[in-house]
Amino acid sequence: MKKLSEVRVENGIGTLYVDGKPFIGLGGELHNSSASSTEYMREKIWPALRPLHVNSIVATVSWEQIEPEEGVFDFQIVDDLIADATKEGIKLTIIWFALWKNGISSYVPEWVKLDRKTYWPCVSLNATKVSTRFGDNAHRTISPLCKAAVEADARAFRALMKHIDEVDTEGTVIMMQIENEIGLIGSPRDYSDFANARFAEPVPDAVAKEYGVSGNWREAFGTDAEEYFMAWYYSTAVETIASAGQAEHNIPMYANAWLQQYPDRPGAYPSGGPIMKMRRMWRLGAPTLCMLAPDIYVPYFEKVIAEYSSDGNPLFIPETQTNVRSAATVFLAVCEYNTMGFNPFGIESVFGVKREMDSGFLMSLNINMSAFSNEGSEVYLPKSYELLHSMMDLIIPARGTGKLRGFFNGDTDTGKLIPFSKYDVHVTYGGQMQGKPPAGGAILEVSEDEFYVFGTNFRAEFVPKNNEMLTVEPIRIEEGKFVDGKWVRGRILNGDERRVSIPFMPSIIRIKLQSYETC
């Protein structure tokens, strides 16, 4: 049995340890239905993943599939998934699709779906309905206040984790995502009689203590009361589920968030979900989770990862765009914000598996169709992954030292000035072109006069620090690559080519410099 994976937060940086060693997952999340069929996985998905240079993927296991009858479990699909991933040398983060998926309860087994008395849904009020493109989903969402439902989910999850503990002898499963994009859509809270009664009661002691508040939910949290109320009940439900599973197989578990975004009202984005604004409530309610993870489809990628890597929250990106921007954002996420994993959504579609998501459906999820344009991603994303993998032995120890700095041209910036020990570096972003990555990359200082510069679509110029009257001069510039952790040089760039210019195709340059006084 391999060592179980774990997340450690060291100097504010989260690191995922797999078999005792730091691991950065460069992968992707599969489409929702792919992993429900072993045959489909074998015929379409595993072959499509091979050219991508992924070392891990985010795949799904659903409650409806493993517990078709109450108390009767069938783990064949889990066994096949783990065995095939192990054979492919790909680690798995498994999403537990159970009580909630994008707010609604579509993945519960039939025997739960058909018993709406025992497993009762949320209720919305006409007066409080939040207009969303997703519709009013309260009646499709089993209430997190429904104890019978939460306990049934926890029993199934415990059985799943016990089974994984028995069969996963190679440590292929490295993390578990509990549910998916939790929160109530269409209504700020559950207005069932049961929930109304809880809302009118004093807040639980733990909440009163954490926030220094008293009285009922409205008195304690004012106009934000609905969201805090739902966050408490969702997070404590998740705690019941996650802790039941972790007792059987102790690997890291997290919850992912549909971001707080336009239109910015709880219920228009899932109310009570694990967004950073609710982190104190989620940490209090669900201490078993090691982090809250963002699903990023908004254009302001850097702002989101800055937020989700702050306040001791380890960064892990379970979903992001699959378009060509990801070939650039990955450098920022890994080298500047220390992500433990990076996963464009529907990764199998980069190499030809058809996407079955139309623009109307994506609008209901508040996602722009362009997030999933494949144009260029099949060329550039695997190259970015290959390059980053080849440098992992250098990247991992440099995280958080200030000697590794990443960047990305999120919008219309022209560049960035980055300070290193002896020099500053002017990074000038290349232009934006259809089907090509925007600028994104990183610089690694290996000694004060020697650097690796890598990424896509930018130029770098080494300059003296502001107040120094020095000339900074390249001594040697080389193209090349890392093979088995060793630098193997290509051309020596001199004469007409004497500069650090990284093309669209992800690549790396090594530069050695000197500086001297000229007057």
* Residues that bind ligand DGJ in the complex, under the rule CB under 6 A: 32, 102, 180-181, 295, 319, 345, 365, 367
Beta-strand pair 458-464/423-429: antiparallel
Of 108 and 460, the one with the shorter C-beta distance to ligand DGJ is: 108
Decide if 292 contacts 275 (C-beta within 8 A): yes
Beta-strand pair 500-502/13-18: unpaired
Q: Buried b vs exposed e over 309-319: b needs ≥16 C-beta within 10 Å?
A: beeebbbbbbb
Instruction: Tell me the closest approach of the beta carbon of residue 272 to ligand DGJ, in angstroms.
Output: 16
Of 254 and 423, the one with the shorter C-beta distance to ligand DGJ is: 254
Helix, strand, coil percentages (3-state) for the chain, rounded to 5, are: 35, 30, 35
Residue nearest to ligand DGJ (CB): 181
Taking Cα atoms as reference points, which of 367, 341, 263, 260 lies closest to residue 307? Answer: 260
Instruction: Tell me the closest approach of the beta carbon of residue 111 to ligand DGJ, in angstroms.
Output: 24
Q: What stretches of 420-484 adopt beta strand conformation (E)?
A: 423-429, 440-447, 450-456, 458-464, 470-483
Instruction: Tell me the closest approach of the beta carbon of residue 438 to ligand DGJ, in angstroms.
Output: 21
Of 41 and 404, the one with the shorter C-beta distance to ligand DGJ is: 41
Instruction: Tell me the closest approach of the beta carbon of residue 345 to ligand DGJ, in angstroms.
Output: 5
Taking Cα atoms as reference points, which of 352, 344, 444 lies closest to residue 391? Answer: 444
Of 320 and 384, the one with the shorter C-beta distance to ligand DGJ is: 320
Structure token pair of residue 129: 């309905």
Of 23 and 97, the one with the shorter C-beta distance to ligand DGJ is: 97
SS3 state of residue 263: coil
Give me the residue label for tokens 């239905």. Answer: 33
Instruction: Tell me the closest approach of the beta carbon of residue 10 to ligand DGJ, in angstroms.
Output: 29
Instruction: Tell me the closest approach of the beta carbon of residue 171 to ligand DGJ, in angstroms.
Output: 25
Q: How many C-beta atoms lie closer than 10 Å to residue 449's C-beta?
A: 17
Of 293 and 472, the one with the shorter C-beta distance to ligand DGJ is: 293
Instruction: Tell me the closest approach of the beta carbon of residue 181 to ligand DGJ, in angstroms.
Output: 4
Of 345 and 451, the one with the shorter C-beta distance to ligand DGJ is: 345
Please give the biggest Cα pair distance in the chain. 86
Of 294 and 314, the one with the shorter C-beta distance to ligand DGJ is: 294
Give the separation between CA 513 and CA 104, rounded to whole angstroms. Answer: 57
Cα dihedral 74, 75, 76, 78, rounded to 10, equals 150
Instruction: Tell me the closest approach of the beta carbon of residue 97 to ligand DGJ, in angstroms.
Output: 8
